[in-house]
Amino acid sequence: MGLLDKANSTAPTTPAPTAVPVAAPAAVPVAAVAAPAAVPVAAVAAQPAKAAKAKKAKKPKARPKGLPSEFEIAPATARFIGSLSNFIINYGLLIGAAFVVVFVNSTVANSASILGAMALYITNVFVIPVRFGRNVGQFVSRTKYISATGNPPNKVHAFLNSMVGFLFLVGGGLVMLNMSELSQGGDTNGIIWFAVGVLMMSLLIIDRQFKKSSDLNQGMFDRAFAAYLVKHVPTVSEAGAGWSARLESMGDWGDRFAQRQAAREEKAANKAAKRAAEAAEAAEAAAASSDESTDEDASEDETESSD
């Protein structure tokens, strides 16, 4: 036992490792680790409103060179009134006569309807223009055709212009009557009449294309005769007595129609402006409410950070 004690006393002793104090991480203030700054809702929600479309500036009315200054090109409303009046007078009875011929089995009724329709058509296309220089539609719309020099165009111009619609109706009848001849073994004459009908109908389509491509709304015969549809101002002699005055008085109906049309357009424009103003007010109210909510959120965040 003495030797063991001696050995233990002579064994080297290893010092125990000293514990190194570990510094605790510094506490980071909660406010420093706050969420990123809140982006105002108004900045995100309220996107920049699209700029209102600027109204297209109205093109200045085209005017032919050399046209005297006292004449003004007829507006679209006057053209519509004249075309509608001429269509009713020229083709209203013709269409009615066609129905009478098809559905009424009476020679007297058929003959009377056809003769009456043709008489009215000839009166408006030949008699009135030759006597007074204008047809009924132009009297109602207070318009007339003149050349660039201010003089009335050739009489043939009015006749050809009036025949375009008539040829379209006749051509349509020929096409319907001879359509069956296009089958195999059809009659050659029927095919020829079918082609003639198609040609007659194409005149109206070509005339409409000429008008669409013209700034002055000139048809093919208007261009051929250098004729322009202008406003007509009645003279003292025309406003007197007789048939001329009676025809001129028909323009009062056209004036009333034009006034009603202008009133409807003005009413529609006012409604559109009112709707636009209401939409702008609603957008401003929505933007104001979003700004208020953003301010409230910002104040709440500041309160939390101070706590």
pLDDT of residue 210: 92
Which pLDDT belongs to residue 40? 47
Report the candidate in 199, 202, 183, 181 with the shortest Cα–Cα distance to residue 191.
181
Phi, psi of 53, rounded to the nearest 5 degrees: -65, 125
The continuous run of DSSP H or E covering 145 comes out as: strand 143-147
Residue 80 in contact with residue 258, Cβ under 8 Å? no
Q: What is the pLDDT along the chain (307 residues), one digit of tens a residue?
A: 444 444 444 444 444 444 444 444 444 444 444 444 444 444 444 444 444 455 555 555 566 665 777 788 888 888 888 888 998 888 888 888 888 888 888 888 888 988 999 999 999 888 888 888 888 888 888 899 988 778 888 888 888 888 888 899 889 989 988 888 777 666 788 888 999 999 999 999 999 999 888 888 888 998 888 888 988 877 766 655 567 677 777 777 777 777 787 788 888 888 888 888 888 888 888 888 777 777 666 676 666 666 5
Of the candidates 79, 77, 91, the one whose C-alpha atom is nearest the C-alpha of residue 145 is: 79
Determine the pLDDT at residue 182. 77
Structure confidence at residue 282 (pLDDT): 86
Q: Which two tokens stand for residue 201?
A: 């109908």
141 touches 226 (CB < 8 A): no
- Which pTM value belongs to this model? 0.61
Find, among 219, 96, 218, the residue nearest to 169 by Cα.
96
Residue labelled with tokens 């000139």: 218
| Whole-number Å distance between alpha carbons of 246 and 244 | 5
